[in-house]
Amino acid sequence: MNDSLILEVADLEVNVLTGIYSEETGKPQPLRITVQARYDIADRYDPDTPLDASKNYMDLKHAASEGLPKGVHFKLIEAVGDHICETLFVQDARVQAVTVKIVKLAIAEAGEKIGITLHRERPAQ
């Protein structure tokens, strides 16, 4: 079995311009975003292992919040997920795969979770 490390930022609430219906366009919608990034693992993590042997969790949070372009309307939340994946791939060559789960909070009627999960592997180079 191969070792792996998956970093995660879960249940981040972000307002994003998204949607295809007239009542959705022009105003931000609340999304709940979870990001997981799998990346090359160090041989070992000792108590004094420096941060650069891992990925900073705040990079994941940034990609799913401030890293989303302001003023851009994403018709589909799938496009939001794609943007997050691409941001993380560009930030760090060690990121091998990204999974983004997005729940559209505004359309839930009885607490159900309606949304998508998008998984991308790093493109072959």
3-state SS of 28-80 is: EEEEEEEEEEEECCCCCCCCCCCHHHCCCHHHHHHHCCCCCCCCCCECCHHHH
pLDDT value at 1 more than 80: no
Strand, helix or coil for residue 92:
coil
Question: What is the structure's pLDDT at 54?
Answer: 81
Give the model confidence (pLDDT) of 56-105 as tens digits. Answer: 899 999 999 999 999 999 999 999 999 999 999 999 998 999 999 999 99
Six-digit token pair at 96? 């091998």
3-class DSSP state for residue 113? coil
Q: How many domains does the chain have?
A: 1
Query: What is the residue range of 101's domain?
Result: 5-121
Residue 102 and residue 77 in contact, taking contact as beta carbons nearer than 8 Å: yes
* Strands across the sheet containing 28-39: 5-17, 28-39, 95-104, 115-121
**Quick one: what percent of the chain has pLDDT higher than 70?**
98
Owner of token pair 């998508």: 116
The helix/strand/coil state of 107 is: helix
Q: Which pTM was predicted? A: 0.91
CATH number of the domain within which 54 lies: 3.30.1130.10
